[in-house]
Amino acid sequence: MSDAGDDDIPQLSSHTLAALQEFYAEQNQHTDPCGEDKYNIGIIEENWQLSQFWYSQETALRLAQEAVDAAGEGGRIACVSAPSVYQKLRALHREHVSVYIFEFDKRFAMYGEEFIFYDYNHPLDLPEKVTAHSFDIVVADPPYLSEECLRKTSKTIKYLTRGKILLCTGATMEEQAAQLLGVRVCRFIPEHTRNLANEFRCYANYDSGLDCGT
């Protein structure tokens, strides 16, 4: 038995309702910090006291693509003090590679199991699950432009990598980077979301795609 008022209430079919629910679930994912948005560069604000200067979207994308190409299908990538590259890799290449973020800033612990707390002052103080030479490529951007910081970070890089190294640091560090890691400067110039006083460069110890074009 239906009352007369029911005819005035618009009814949605179960199919339409399901589609609507799917739409709202997807909308939530885009605004929910636990959804895909959590991999956006900038979701964690720069803290200059930690020497945090995020790459531009284009640079993070280019470095992430280079890391994937170098690591190969199913490869393992370590991002050492380079959270934007980690974020880009997780946002775009989830199925193709495994990625870990080695970071001092515990706000990045929001990435769960893939976050490894790392302080360059204790280069080999890493959890047991991080075994020697277990990454196809290490992408690193040490926090300070000093010989000491690069030397200590290099210890971590050499411990982690199976061979390939992609380093981003100041142009002034070229000679020391060559001595410590056997890397040479690439043609590609990394850019940041803000203009920095120091010039930055990328360095690699293999024939990288960063030598082609700009």
Ligand X SMILES: C[S@@+](CC[C@H](N)C(=O)[O-])C[C@H]1O[C@@H](n2cnc3c(N)ncnc32)[C@H](O)[C@@H]1O
Chain contacts with ligand X (rule: CB under 6 A): 50-55, 81-85, 103-105, 118-121, 141, 143
**In angstroms, rounded to a whole number, what is the distance separating the alpha carbons of residues 208 and 187?**
10
- Distance from C-alpha of 183 to C-alpha of 174, rounded to nearest angstrom: 8
Contacts of 51 (CB under 8 A, 6+ apart): 143, 144
CB of 55 or CB of 203, closer to ligand X: 55
Q: Which is nearer to ligand X, 16 or 172 (CB)?
A: 172
Residue whose CB is less far from ligand X, 31 or 126: 126
Least distance between ligand X and beta carbon 177 (Å): 14
Q: How far is the CB of 10 from ligand X (least distance, A)?
A: 50
State which residue, 85 or 157, has the beta carbon closest to ligand X.
85
- At 115 the three-state DSSP class reads strand
Q: How far is the CB of 175 from ligand X (least distance, A)?
A: 19
Q: How many other β-carbons are positioned within 10 Å of the β-carbon of residue 88?
A: 27
